[in-house]
Structure 1
Amino acid sequence: MSSPSPLVPAFPANATLTTRVHDALENAIITGELKPGERIHADVLAAQFGMSRIPVREALRSLHEAGWVDIKPRHGVHVRERTAEELDELFEFRAVVEGMVARWAALRRTDADLDALAARIEENREAGDEPATGAGFYAALRAAAKNSVLATTSAALEKRARFYFSTVEHQLGEDWRHVHEAVLDHVRAQDADAADRVAHKHIEDTGKAVAALLFDR
């Protein structure tokens, strides 16, 4: 008997079958386990997940609507391709959004928010050489900004950005660690302009670095 597929995760007990498959496939696409252009077969996935084809097909449709896969008649389902144009537009917009998150965090943070940000930085420091994107730090920064609409937008852009940098994060260095510390210093000092400027520039620089690695710029 063959070993279980690495795509099969430990699902939350309260998630629907469609949601479970969607989340598992989305994560596999973002991390590069499913490659851009790779074909996805519903029948094969249904067997791997141990379920009928109906929730798998529903999950694939939701992934198509979210922009993670392409579904074409007679060509099947394929993981979407990465493009230089989307990368540029994505990081250009994300830089503005993350700058605003840092700005509002500086203006609205509480002592508890500062403690949470410091804890996320310490967790990243303890991770050592393990690749990390600072997702926990950005989540804490969004919480400090106190705006649910901005938080939702920021989280969605972060997820889309991971689709691009997850496969090259080992090559991006560790400058982001120092950036997070600088952002926290500005947030603690309630210097909104500086927090915005540092966060904005960091995302822009990251986009340029990822583009150079993925598209030989």
Structure 2
Amino acid sequence: MTLSTAAAPGNPLGGGSLPTQIHELLEEAIIAGDLAPGSRLRADEIAAHYGVSRIPVREAFSALAEAGWVDSRPRYGVYVRGRSRDELAELFEARAGLEQEIARLAASRRSDADLARMDGVVERSRRAVEARNTSGLTDAAIEFNAALRDAGKNAVLTGLSLNLEKRARFYFSPVADLLGEEWITGQERLLGLLRAGDENGSAASARRHIEETGRAVAGLLDSAAFTS
């Protein structure tokens, strides 16, 4: 089990409720693949790692189970959930429709500052690919999506998109280094359409990008990229 060491023992995060903070740390570790699917989460080990009692850890486990990140098996323990080909297909199908609408709105509502922000993200993506910096590439992809949501200026769609993106990262984070070039191509293509104010083109481009990513991840799902 690999956990973040950014939080000092005895003071996991430095603010907010302990169960919430531990939940967020464990959730991110699951999404990033630091806690692999099928691995068992032991409350005593996690409590010792963060210098807390087992009570907030158990509360965090309950929240993780409710959110679908872990399976709680009576008498057997708590295990990180596995990846599902069916969920992958449904997830990217849902994201394609949602991101399509966000991009449509962004094409008519984006500001020069929004475009400049996305330009900067594309450049960071390119540098991350050249440096083979997988975490930097993933961070840039998240930032590009955030900039697109901000340009769309719809809080309801933003909330839905954030939830689906988090679930999608569980699938694409392990293979981000294999998808980087495709991501840059998709970002550049969409950015050009946003700059031109092309609503239909932007919508179609965003949908295409999500669908291409979903197909690429599906093609790698049973490969060593997810198990090594």
Q: Same fold (TM over 0.5)?
A: yes
Give CA-to-partner distance per residue, 1:128-157, whole Å, 9 cap, x none. 332223111010000000011111111111
The unaligned stretches of length 5 or more in structure 1 are none
Which residue is 2:47 aligned to?
46
Runs of 4+ with deviation above 6 angstroms: none
Counterpart CA distance in 1 for 2:127 and 2:92 is 28
- Using the size of structure 1 for normalisation, the TM-score is 0.92
Structure 1 residue corresponding to 2:5, chosen from 8, 32, 46: 8
1:86 aligns with 2:83: no
Instruction: Tell me: CA distance 1:55–1:8, structure 2 relative to 1, closer, same or farther (3 Å).
Output: farther
Scaled by the length of structure 2, the TM-score of the pair is 0.88
1:180 equivalent among 184, 187, 201: 187
| Residues 1:208 and 2:215 aligned together | yes
The size of the alignment, in residue pairs, is: 212
Deviation at 1:158, TM superposition (A): 1.0
Contact 2:109 2:152 in 1 (8 A): yes
Q: Does the CA contact (< 8 Å) of 1:9 and 1:24 recur in 2?
A: no
The answer for unaligned runs of 5 or more in structure 2 is 224-228
Identity value in percent:
50
Q: Deviations over 1:23-63 (max 9, x none)?
A: 11011101111111111111111011100111111111111
Aligned ranges 1:28-177 → 2 under 5 Å: 28-127=29-128, 128=130, 129-131=132-134, 132-133=137-138, 134-177=141-184
Q: CA offsets, 1:61-91, max 9 Å, x none?
A: 1111111011121121110110100000001
